[in-house]
A and B are shown apart, each in its own frame.
Chain A
Amino acid sequence: DTAVSQTPKYLVTQMGNDKSIKCEQNLGHDTMYWYKQDSKKFLKIMFSYNNKELIINETVPNRFSPKSPDKAHLNLHINSLELGDSAVYFCASSQTLAEPYNEQFFGPGTRLTVL
């Protein structure tokens, strides 16, 4: 069983469209994250959620709206897509926010291409 899964794996869309990426973890973790990896492979935190509550929003444009319907799911909705949104988006989870020494488990990534 996959620990952290994301769908879709690839997403190709036109500028101005709205799209969503879904993430699910079956590890029973309390904390989930979205990271963005740019074309130079640089990884940066976007959001973190703990027990469905938003904890961190790292100066991400408000076109990006995460939603956590329950603590096993963290979805990312992006409005009015721009060329600069093209990247690989990784979902991750860890046991609890209170233990920053815990491993984060990463999903396989969603490669978003905006044309």
Chain B
Amino acid sequence: AQSVTQLGSHVSVSEGALVLLRCNYSSSVPPYLFWYVQYPNQGLQLLLKYTSAATLVKGINGFEAEFKKSETSFHLTKPSAHMSDAAEYFCAVSDSGYSTLTFGKGTMLLVSP
């Protein structure tokens, strides 16, 4: 069975600081990995995804993530946080058989001025 672990339910950064949100996965097959963002009272929006084409994946809003098979990780980073980045971030792995997503528990990113 696939699973995703997100370390840290809350991460606080100052505006302009580096953002690092951690995600580790468990999968018996090469995984498809996703980062989604949820702004307050909204649905989820895809930030980026890993589909084995390249280990460093660039997404929207300046975010990127690196797939590291040896560490079973897919951490999300952004060089400089903006206030508008404050949201809940979900890492997810896709079931190759049924295309359903298994989500981590989410990390709330708080950005202070």
Contact = CB atoms under 8 A, between A and B. Distances in A.
B63 interface: no
B76 to A, nearest CB: 16
Interface in A45-96: 45, 48, 55-56, 58, 90, 92, 94, 96
Contacts of A102: 99
Size range of the interface on A?
20 to 34
A31 B99 CA distance: 9
Nearest to A108: B43
Interface string A23-63: 00000000101010000111111001000000110100000
Contacts of A41: 38, 88, 105-106
Contacts of A40: 105
Contacts of A33: 100
Contacts, number: 65
B43 A103 contact: no
B94 interface: yes
Given A41-B88, A41-B105, A48 B98 contact: yes
Contacts of B46: 103-104
B43 to A, nearest CB: 4
A109 B100 CA distance: 17
B82 interface: no
Interface of B: 32, 34, 36, 38, 41-46, 49, 51, 88, 90, 94-103, 105-106
9 contacts: A42-B105, A45-B101, A48-B98, A48-B100, A58-B100, A90-B44, A101-B49, A101-B94, A103-B46
Interface of A: 4, 31, 33, 35, 40-45, 48, 55-56, 58, 90, 92, 94, 96-104, 106-109
